[in-house]
Structure 1
């Protein structure tokens, strides 16, 4: 496999080459790969060096598309991110196990089935269409992904399907020297849950999906610790605020997960936003969800801008929560409420203080605004927003006793001498009045 990957990298560097090369591309920047600790571990154990891999920021897909040298197969997702939407015509194949979002097309073959692991569908595809590709190294990569995604094939976790079990057994029978299932799962699980030394930003990016509609972007992150441990992180509010500011998110949904000794998942939720509007709207969407119902119940939170929940439906993974949030964003967009436009982020840039210095109100919390005063007032109403108003010079009133306005001809001409005379008169009046104080007299 290493030789194949090296040839792929070489082919990408050969400009004008007419040969067709199949190149597996990891759809993340290379700098983020160390955060995928389970993938790092599995590739290392399978003898695949990181240097041989190709990452999204190392290949110019747009350039290849313009040169009419690009066809795309999407694996483990079925729609392109917004940044790559211009490449849609190049998509000819999809293999995925998530909810199908793309419009059916005769030019794109779609293999979609809601199994526990997309690697199950890839294994089936190879088994039927290219069995010669399946050597022990490839088998271990596929097998490790299936076992980890399906939580060691434990029915209690609610992930494994009969097809997952069938394809895992097929790999075991063809390659008896594969690591024992339980041992491999524990090693991968330990690597996946190892977040030692990571910042809050890295923990959120480690396993994150972003969803957006219109001007509102949400981050949905799987967090591999209990919610109590997450909320106790030092400077959590500051780091969450910085994360949203840096990546332009209106809110973050952190889905914490841990497992007991029987591989049963324990899930909790946290919704963060510096905007009360975003935080409440996202939280209500999750609370009211019925397909599926998350069965969430509020928990106490040490922070006003973080809402915490116990998730009673522990089988509702992020794959099932994402459609809920996407439906919410569709409804949000229908309201044509524009929060987070360019002017909003300009205001955020002006007010954001990463040092956490005291504001004018003495509040030491990081000041981070996700919507401008204008938009928040329009959304919440002047009474809900507060009494503060943008200062504007009022229009000159019309005089009801005359036609037109006394100032229609412009401001009256006042000489400098007249102004000085007026000020002298005011100072004289003040000197005679003992009750009048002027700035600086105290």
Structure 2
């Protein structure tokens, strides 16, 4: 069953949100089932279409578009959608004050477009880094500029990146309020918590940036702005998006956190951040809880619509919409990631996007020189991003280590490091005080068989072992998500532990109390590599090279958000053992 979301004909308001919510829960007429679109031949180089795609979208955006019924509970394309007050490349936008929904305000102020904003951020970050370099030489001038940094989680996926960009852009748009709150000269900068070189691993983000006229060179990365130096100088304030506890490269910056915008379980860190500055869209309950939105970008869109709707140009709307569609698998209600809030936000964003009229595409009037298809609807936007994300050629090309780094998160677990949980060398050091355990999880978009091609089962196993040691984790899990020929999701779970004993404990726990929920089906016997060689470690050398557990994950609805708490509960169960 699917719902057809008609395009609204008025400005966004709280009434529209209520109406969208009621419509979502109302009975819908049964419509013919529609399979996911067949995956087209994938583009080998994701950036080849850049300039032609931009011209394609800009040059053919004036005509009205037809409404599209997106399968299941998807968003319809806008009819007669036009560019908002801001256009990519425009010099300024009129931004209204808080709670002004119609764009009118006697106290309206001017703000640069998103590309101009990002370029300003990049320029100020470069100047700051140069200032730190001059300080080391004793030639620096005294800096007073306060940096309010917006940063997503260490995995730095599309949701983390774009929610940080959107929140910083919005905060700068309300500069008068921000200056009053911060009490000084402030620059609001989105900073990606990864090195710049890692952006190449995020193909769907690069594609989305190209579609939305975002220049990657204007984005600031962790290796381009020394946040720890800014904190030491008392010139750092930090807003966390898409997570609610500092980790990875942000570790040690907890005292600088002033705001949280997230949709994961609240870990309770940074207790000084409360009230409206702690927006964690997650409802805890005895069963663990549920996210109230499927994407952090939904929260950002809601705030923009409430505080500064003029910011939502076609490009900005498409940036947020693309992430929401990717995070919710095109608002697929069967997967249970999308909520009524995602649907309402996506509906309004879709209305603001200047979709390419199908007639222009059919006539070849604005046909791009590359093989990439043009986005005429939200459906096609989702397909374009999904194809870039799952591109098998890309996953075959990248190294084993890059595969693990692509979408990696570490988690603090209960218990203490001890004789059965660390590497062989670690177990010999009994003089050091016990440390809290950590485990890591990498999400990949290729099958384990593809990973095995990167040096064989043993070769990729060695890469996992080395990566686990470098991250200081007790165990390392790899979750794979792939699409079969019919577009259906498939998932696998591979776990590395430093010893066979720890592996046996984890297997017993996961296949026991949580086996029914995860629907685990052993793919190979446990062993010293994930090919299942399990009889080769006996006697005193048992587990010296680590231990691997491998399953097919039949519950394809289970994401890292659901699996990570299960692994964390395992560590609680073995604490002190």
TM-score under structure 2 length normalisation: 0.54
Q: CA deviation at 1:23?
A: 0.2
CA contact (8 A) 2:437 2:474 kept: yes
Query: Equivalent of 1:130, from 293, 308, 330?
Result: 308
The equivalent residue for 1:142 is: 320
SS across alignment from 1:94: strand
Tell me the equivalent position of 2:467.
Answer: 243
What is the distance in 2 between the residues matched to 1:282 and 1:128?
Answer: 46
- The residue aligned with 1:111 is 279
1-side partners of 2:452 and 2:340: how far apart? 38
Which of 360, 373, 379 pairs up with 1:182?
A: 379
Task: Tell me the distance in 2 between the aligned counterparts of 1:306 and 1:291.
Answer: 17
SS across alignment from 1:79: coil
Alignment size in residue pairs: 335
Q: CA deviation at 1:291?
A: 10
Distance 1:105 1:291 in 2: 35
Partner SS, residue 157 of structure 1: coil
Equivalent residue number for residue 426 of structure 1? none
Tell me the residue number matched to 2:442.
Answer: 221
Aligned-CA RMSD value: 2.4
Q: Give the C-alpha shift of residue 83 in structure 1.
A: 5.7
Runs of 4+ in structure 1 displaced over 6 angstroms?
none
Secondary structure of 2:518's counterpart equals coil
Deviation track 1:294-344 (CA, whole Å, cap 9, x = no partner) reads: 121222252333221122322111111112223333445x41x6xxxxxxx
Please tell me whether the aligned partners of residues 212 and 329 of structure 1 are also in contact (alpha carbons under 8 angstroms): no
Alpha-carbon offset, residue 166 of structure 1: 1.1
Q: State the partner residue of 2:560.
A: 318
CA shift for structure 1 position 155: 1.9
Pair 1:279-2:445 in alignment: no
What is the correspondence of 1:259-270 to structure 2 with a 5 Å cutoff?
A: 259-260=483-484, 264-270=488-494
The equivalent residue for 1:254 is: 478
Deviation at 1:91, TM superposition (A): 1.2
CA distance in 2, matches of 1:117, 1:249: 28
Q: Is this contact kept in 2: 1:285–1:324, CA < 8 A?
A: no
1:256–1:269 CA contact under 8 A, matched in 2:
yes
Written as runs of structure 1 = structure 2, the 5 A alignment for 1:321-340 is 321-332=563-574, 334-335=575-576
Judge conservation of contact 1:148–1:189 (CA < 8 Å) in 2.
yes
Q: CA deviation at 1:270?
A: 1.2
Q: Taking CA–CA contacts closer than 8 Å with sequence separation of 6 or more, which of the two structures ends up with the larger relative contact order?
A: 2
C-alpha distance in 2, partners of 1:285/1:313?
Answer: 17
Which has the larger Rg?
1
Q: 1:297 aligns with which of 521, 525, 535?
A: 521
Per-residue deviation, 1:80 = 0.5
Q: Tell me, in whole angstroms, the C-alpha distance in 2 between the residues paired with 1:215 and 1:106.
A: 24
Match of 2:406 among 190, 199, 206: 206
Q: Is the 8 A contact 1:200 1:236 kept in 2?
A: yes
* Matching residue of 1:56: 222
Residue correspondence of structure 1 range 70-81 to structure 2 within 5 A: 70-81=236-247
Indicate the SS of the match to 2:517: coil
* TM-aligned CA distance change 1:74 to 1:288, over 3 Å: farther
Other-structure match for 2:208: 42
